[in-house]
């Protein structure tokens, strides 16, 4: 059996080491900065935004002139037949070049492509903003998951030390005849159980730290913990309906879906443009030079042309009508996707709002329970000393207090994360909100 005094000394040394390490611990903002640089999911979103911005340039290209330079330099050898006279051969050199310009005057499909390109940039920005909000929430959730797991493990370790001390006390009292063997058996059973729970807690902490490492690409090291006795404020505005309304309009997923509907509408018009005529301004200049042994003599010619070129489509195997029907169906799909995004954003805001408000109420209740549990433990210890309480009463009171403190910390973590989720659903989550949460940590 372990020495209670030795356990107390070890616990004190561990606590001192933890406080020393915590002084240089990484806080939430530092972890977020690491995630900005290393998170692969956010890096993918950043690259998608850069790619999406090019859609505007590509769409504008369809309205601008196209210029091309072409040419050739050839040599031709001609062998004359005997009918012409004595067999002879001629060699000619031909050099040509042409510079051509084409400027669209009326191409409805190109105009719609240009408008789609501008909308694609807006959609890419909205998707990137949503990815930023998602990163803030993911980092915060992973961060506080680690803290919660650490709290659970520390609670189990504290219980293990307390049970060990009570077990030693029960054995001493049994030896001197002041208590029964039941107290020793009960304390031993509690001790064996908490040891098993401690192993499970260590495994859970390793999993939570691995989840955080997945986001930041490296080991997080020691994390700054939440200050004791912090007071969390209620959501502002205080009405759920205001948050739901904001989510249905400002959520970046909803914004991206709205833009997708507009792009789909433009695509219908672009598909119908397959029936429309096109008109282009064309101009070209070119030169042809002949040299060598030429029957008609040598020389050069130059030609300049300018005019308009039109084209009227008549029949294309019903391909245009098919593309129109396809575009209409895709537009209907985009509208349903928009409605889904709105409902999801609204539901997300409702869940997060309830999570924050119920979490705050739970925190108040647990704060009161903590005070009561501490009083109960003090009373049971005193009763055990004077003989009106048994060992199991003290163990139960200790377990109740440590569990209450653990639940209180978890309730605070959940309320903080739900507050961030609420702002994300409403489309107003910023890095400044993360800084405010970071101020609640011990630095």
Determine the Cα–Cα distance for residues 346 and 244; give it in Å rounded to an integer. 5
**Range list of β-strands (E), 324-381:** none
Look at residue 1 in the predicted model and tell me its pLDDT: 40
Place of tokens 């700054």: 224
Span 220-233, pLDDT tens digits:
889 999 988 888 98
Whether the predicted pLDDT of 6 surpasses 50: no
Whether the predicted pLDDT of 82 surpasses 70: no
Q: CB–CB of 167/184 below 8 Å?
A: yes
Determine the Cα–Cα distance for residues 357 and 182; give it in Å rounded to an integer. 45
* CA 363 to centroid of chain Cα atoms: 29
CATH number of 65-106+278-311: 2.20.200
Determine the Cα–Cα distance for residues 340 and 346; give it in Å rounded to an integer. 10
Where residue 293 falls among pLDDT bands split at 50, 70, 90?
low
Span 348-391, pLDDT tens digits:
999 999 999 999 999 999 999 999 988 988 888 888 777 767 66
Look at residue 42 in the predicted model and tell me its pLDDT: 95
Provide φ and ψ at 276, rounded to 5°.
-90, 150
The mean pLDDT of the chain is 87
What is the chain's Cα-based Rg?
39
Could you give the angle at the alpha carbon of 167 between the alpha carbons of 163 and 173, nearest 5°?
Answer: 140
Whether the predicted pLDDT of 173 surpasses 80: no
Give the pairing type, strands 278-292 and 89-106.
Answer: antiparallel
If one counts every other C-beta atom within 10 angstroms of the C-beta of residue 432, the result is 7
Whether the predicted pLDDT of 398 surpasses 70: yes
Look at residue 171 in the predicted model and tell me its pLDDT: 79
Determine the Cα–Cα distance for residues 423 and 247; give it in Å rounded to an integer. 9
How far CA 185 is from CA of 174, 239, 355, in Å, comes to 11, 55, 42
Q: CB–CB of 309/277 below 8 Å?
A: no
Place of tokens 């001390």: 165
Could you give the angle at the alpha carbon of 81 between the alpha carbons of 80 and 85, nearest 5°?
Answer: 90
State both tokens at 181. 């063997």
Q: Is this model's pTM higher than 0.75 or not?
A: yes
**CB proximity list for 397: less than 8 A, separation 6 or greater:** 373, 376, 377, 379, 380, 381
Where residue 67 falls among pLDDT bands split at 50, 70, 90?
very high
Where residue 16 falls among pLDDT bands split at 50, 70, 90?
very low
Whether the predicted pLDDT of 274 surpasses 50: yes
Span 18-47, pLDDT tens digits:
444 444 678 999 999 999 999 999 999 999
**Range list of β-strands (E), 125-277:** none
What is the average pLDDT across 77-92? Answer: 66
With pLDDT > 90 as the criterion, what percentage of the chain qualifies?
A: 64
Whether the predicted pLDDT of 81 surpasses 80: no
CA atoms within 13 A on the CB side of 207: 9
- Helix segments in 217-318, DSSP class H: 240-250, 252-272
Look at residue 388 in the predicted model and tell me its pLDDT: 67
What is the average pLDDT across 304-332? Answer: 94
In 3D space, the residue among 397, 406, 395 whose CA is nearest the CA of residue 161 turns out to be 395
Provide φ and ψ at 250, rounded to 5°.
-105, -15
Q: CB–CB of 404/366 below 8 Å?
A: yes
Q: CB–CB of 224/150 below 8 Å?
A: no
Look at residue 11 in the predicted model and tell me its pLDDT: 43
Look at residue 9 in the predicted model and tell me its pLDDT: 41
Whether the predicted pLDDT of 337 surpasses 90: yes
If one counts every other C-beta atom within 10 angstroms of the C-beta of residue 30, the result is 16
Span 115-148, pLDDT tens digits:
999 999 999 999 999 999 999 999 999 999 999 9
Whether the predicted pLDDT of 79 surpasses 90: no
Label each residue of 19-62 as H, E or C.
HHHHCCCECHHHHHHHHHHHCHHHHHHHHHHHHHHHHHHHHHHC
Whether the predicted pLDDT of 297 surpasses 50: yes
Where residue 80 falls among pLDDT bands split at 50, 70, 90?
low
**CB proximity list for 316: less than 8 A, separation 6 or greater:** 274
Place of tokens 């609670």: 155
* CA 79 to centroid of chain Cα atoms: 74
- Every domain of the chain and the residues it spans: 4-62+107-277+312-438, 65-106+278-311
What is the average pLDDT across 408-412? Answer: 93
Residue with the bigger pLDDT between 258 and 299: it is 258
Q: How far separated are the first and last CA of the chain, in Å rounded?
A: 39
What is the topology classification, in CATH, of domain 4-62+107-277+312-438?
Outer membrane efflux proteins (OEP) (1.20.1600)
If one counts every other C-beta atom within 10 angstroms of the C-beta of residue 116, the result is 23
Span 247-259, pLDDT tens digits:
999 999 999 999 9
Place of tokens 């139960």: 396
């Amino acid at each position: 059996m372990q020495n209670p005094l030795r356990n107390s000394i070890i616990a004190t040394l561990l606590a001192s080491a933890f406080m020393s390490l915590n002084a240089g611990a990484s806080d939430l903002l530092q972890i977020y900065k690491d995630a900005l640089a290393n998170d692969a999911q956010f890096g993918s979103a950043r690259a998608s935004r850069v790619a999406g911005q090019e859609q505007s340039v590509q769409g504008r290209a369809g309205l601008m002139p196209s210029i091309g330079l072409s040419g050739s330099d050839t040599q031709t050898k001609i062998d004359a037949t005997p009918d012409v006279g004595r067999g002879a051969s001629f060699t000619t050199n031909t050099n040509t070049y042409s510079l051509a310009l084409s400027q669209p005057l009326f191409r409805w499909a190109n105009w719609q492509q240009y408008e789609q390109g501008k909308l694609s940039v807006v959609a890419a920005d909205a998707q990137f903003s949503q990815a930023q909000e998602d990163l803030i929430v993911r980092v915060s959730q992973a961060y506080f998951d680690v803290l919660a797991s650490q709290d659970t493990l520390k609670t189990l370790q504290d219980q293990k030390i307390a049970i060990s001390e009570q077990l030693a006390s029960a054995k001493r009292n049994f030896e001197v005849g002041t208590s029964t063997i039941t107290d020793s058996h009960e304390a031993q059973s509690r001790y064996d159980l908490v040891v098993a729970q401690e192993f499970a807690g260590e495994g859970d902490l390793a999993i939570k730290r691995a989840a955080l490492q997945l986001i930041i690409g490296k080991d997080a090291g020691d994390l700054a913990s939440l200050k004791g006795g912090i007071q969390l404020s209620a959501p502002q505005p205080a009405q759920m309906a205001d948050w739901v309304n904001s989510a249905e309009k400002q959520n970046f997923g909803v914004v991206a879906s709205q833009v997708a509907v507009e792009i789909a509408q433009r695509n219908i018009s672009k598909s119908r443009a397959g029936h429309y005529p096109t008109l282009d301004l064309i101009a070209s200049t070119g030169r042809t030079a002949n040299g060598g042994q030429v029957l008609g003599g040598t020389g050069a010619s130059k030609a300049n042309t300018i005019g308009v070129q039109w084209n009227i489509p008549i029949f294309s195997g019903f391909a245009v009508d098919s593309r129109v029907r396809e575009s209409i169906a895709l537009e209907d799909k985009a509208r349903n996707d928009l409605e889904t995004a709105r409902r999801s954003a609204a539901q997300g805001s409702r869940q997060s709002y309830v999570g924050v408000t119920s979490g705050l109420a739970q925190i108040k209740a647990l704060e009161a329970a903590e005070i009561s549990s501490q009083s109960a433990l003090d009373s049971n210890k005193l009763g055990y000393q004077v003989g009106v309480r048994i060992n199991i009463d003290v163990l139960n009171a200790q377990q109740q207090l440590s569990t209450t403190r653990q639940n209180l910390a978890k309730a605070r973590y959940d309320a903080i994360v739900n507050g961030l989720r609420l702002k994300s659903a409403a489309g107003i989550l910023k890095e400044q909100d993360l800084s405010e949460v970071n101020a609640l940590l011990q630095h």
